[in-house]
Amino acid sequence: MKVVIVGGVAGGATAAARLRRLDERAEIVVFERSGYVSYANCGLPYYIGGVIEDPEELTLQTPQSFFERFRVDMRVHHEVTALHPDKKTVSVKNLRTGEQFEEPYDKLILSPGAKPTQPRLPGAGLEKLFTLRTVEDTFRIKNYIDAHHPRSAVLAGGGFIGLELAENLRLLGMEVTIVQRPKQLMNPFDADMAAFIHSEVRRHGVRLELGRTVEGFAERDGGVDVLLRDAPPLHADMVVLAIGVTPDTALAKEAGLALGLKGSILVNDRMETSVPDIYAVGDAVQVKHSVTGQDVLLSLAGPANKQGRIAADNICGGDSRYRGSQGSLVLQAFDLTAAATGVKEEAAQKAGLKTDTVVLSPMSHAGYYPGGRLMTMKVVFEQGSYRLLGAQIVGYEGVDKRIDVLAAAIHAGMTAPQLKDLDLAYAPPYSSAKDPVNMAGFMAENLAKGVVKQFHIGDVDALPRDGSVTLLDVRTAQEYAGGHIEGFANIPVDELRGRLGELEPAKPVYVICQSGLRSYIACRILAGYGYETYNFSGGFRFYDAVTGDRRLIEQAAPCGMDQ
């Protein structure tokens, strides 16, 4: 059996190694257009910033090491230019010599990945305009910085690459601006959770121009003007386009394979395309979201590696199935860690799901043990069934641990209240006896059992200020004086029982504190005396961060702009 693989990075390299482990006698040939195989895309920005010093650390395997270990024929600088399913061959061009030839196959795996999205804008071909996707792209940017010592950069796009590159360019002392059309960074997060990422990025001196549309680029004064709609241009010494990726599927289209979203390759759960004996994996394929069941594109290394393994299994006679993508992710943004899994609230609602959430601000470990840091957690679940749909966490220590627990819980089909039952490891340096994940479960259980009702940040402005309801802030007088929501009166929770006479029993009471705990206690006190109560989800800390971020964005965005 001869297997040809187009693309030798995540999915392709994994498929090649798995094929060899399953079939010692198979002939395996991999064609990779670039000069590198099995490299770490996620590490590229950190080489530019000097965090990773040795360029060899970017490649997990070389063609030589792959051959020595697996006897796989890895041919770099070879571009597959056409597929011929009718005669089961591919056309190949050796980019070093110009030689062109046809290579036969019994089975074909397509792992072409995705390419940086490059809009057709004026000036898009300027020399000081870069993209970052391959090792060669990385060396080009690194060499330019080393040679010209630019002092400023504009990054068009605020996803993984934009954020990671912003951090690394700041490490080099450069002035950095991120500009993009959406009014938030990191689309997998809800806007309220993205506010914490914005705050951290601004704190480290990165300028955010959110809600701006880039309309072109122009050379000026030795640098580049980034032309914006309805706003003055942004000038910088260099510009990096990081506005997303597009499936690289021209070969599949020309060969007549069935295509899906944005021209991606359609596959079944065995990673088989519409053409017999051709499989496809990685960023180029359309998959099902495991939570919503919707068709999605997810450019993440984990799914690509799993898909490569599945394709290899099935080529070798197995019956492996891809169960869908959940979209679990984690990233570092300066000192902050941000992570998400499943679907965010906005996406769940667009998918037709009725949602509710709990928002909490737990410590990373036991409060009495030194060094604990606050994190902010948002857990999304379905109304009625309480099925877990997604989670987002921003914080410092312990974020990755909790998101992985929640990812496993979503995969297992658990409900939000069942999180309380998870038996999680505890020691003071690492957690609390009631882990943050357990706490989210306790909160969801209280909602499910009617112990407490809540209101959310989107409800605050609509609350009547005409005296028909009671708006109550139960923080200390000092906290209240430091900032509060207009219309909320202050009675500290520890004084509440003695001041019940100030509240009218017939009026519903909407209660807020700093994080949601004291207001929950206040709600239970008031409920004991017959009051109808609602607890604010997330507390004033959450409200202040989100509304403060919104003000900054709205103040910066031009009026009347097409969003």
Chain centroid offset of residue 473 CA = 34
Q: Looking at the chain, how many residues does it have?
A: 563
By the 8 A CB rule, do 243 and 71 touch? no
- Give the pLDDT of residue 563: 31
**Cα–Cα separations (whole angstroms), residue 234 to 163, 382, 444:** 18, 43, 46
By the 8 A CB rule, do 260 and 90 touch? no
The residue from 42, 316, 523, 559 that is catalytic is 42
Query: 78-84 and 238-241: which strand pairing?
Result: unpaired
- Give the pLDDT of residue 555: 84
Q: Is the pLDDT of residue 558 over 70?
A: no
Average pLDDT over residues 515-532: 97
Two tokens at 113? Answer: 């990945």
Q: Is the pLDDT of residue 559 over 70?
A: no
Residues forming a β-bridge with 472: 489, 511
Rounded to whole angstroms, the Cα distance separating 307 from 310 reads 5
Count how many Cα atoms sit within 13 Å of the Cα of residue 537 in the half-sphere of its side chain: 22
By the 8 A CB rule, do 211 and 556 touch? yes
Q: Is the pLDDT of residue 8 over 70?
A: yes
Rounded to whole angstroms, the Cα distance separating 374 from 357 reads 19
180 CB neighbour count, 10 Å cutoff:
24
**Cα–Cα separations (whole angstroms), residue 106 to 19, 274, 323:** 13, 16, 26
Average pLDDT over residues 85-113: 97
- Give the pLDDT of residue 562: 35
Local structure of 358: helix, strand or coil: strand
Give the tens place of pLDDT for each residue, 321-351: 999 999 999 999 999 999 999 999 999 999 9
If pLDDT is split at 50, 70 and 90, which confidence band does 556 have? confident
- Give the pLDDT of residue 42: 77
**Cα–Cα separations (whole angstroms), residue 334 to 168, 198, 200, 305, 403:** 9, 11, 7, 27, 19
**Cα–Cα separations (whole angstroms), residue 199 to 89, 204, 425:** 53, 9, 31
Rounded to whole angstroms, the Cα distance separating 271 from 322 reads 7
Rounded to whole angstroms, the Cα distance separating 83 from 35 reads 21
CA proximity to 239, closest of 175, 182, 185: 175
Taking each helix axis as running N to C, give the angle between helix 191-203 and helix 539-556, from 0 to 180 degrees, rounded to the nearest 10: 70
- Give the pLDDT of residue 299: 86
**Cα–Cα separations (whole angstroms), residue 266 to 26, 89, 247:** 26, 20, 12
Q: Is the pLDDT of residue 29 over 60?
A: yes
Query: DSSP states of 454-476 as a string?
Result: EE-GGGGGGS--SSSSEEEE-S-
Question: What is the helix (H) or strand (E) element at residue 125, kind and residue range?
Answer: none
Rounded to whole angstroms, the Cα distance separating 76 from 174 reads 34
Give the tens place of pLDDT for each residue, 376-416: 999 999 999 999 999 999 999 999 999 999 999 999 999 99
CA proximity to 398, closest of 418, 376, 419: 376
Share of the chain above pLDDT 90, in %: 85
42 has catalytic annotation = yes
- Give the pLDDT of residue 561: 35
Give the tens place of pLDDT for each residue, 461-494: 999 999 999 999 999 999 999 999 999 999 999 9
Give the tens place of pLDDT for each residue, 405-451: 999 999 999 999 999 999 999 999 999 999 999 999 999 999 999 99
By the 8 A CB rule, do 354 and 382 touch? yes
Least confident of 57-66, 129-138, 453-462: 57-66
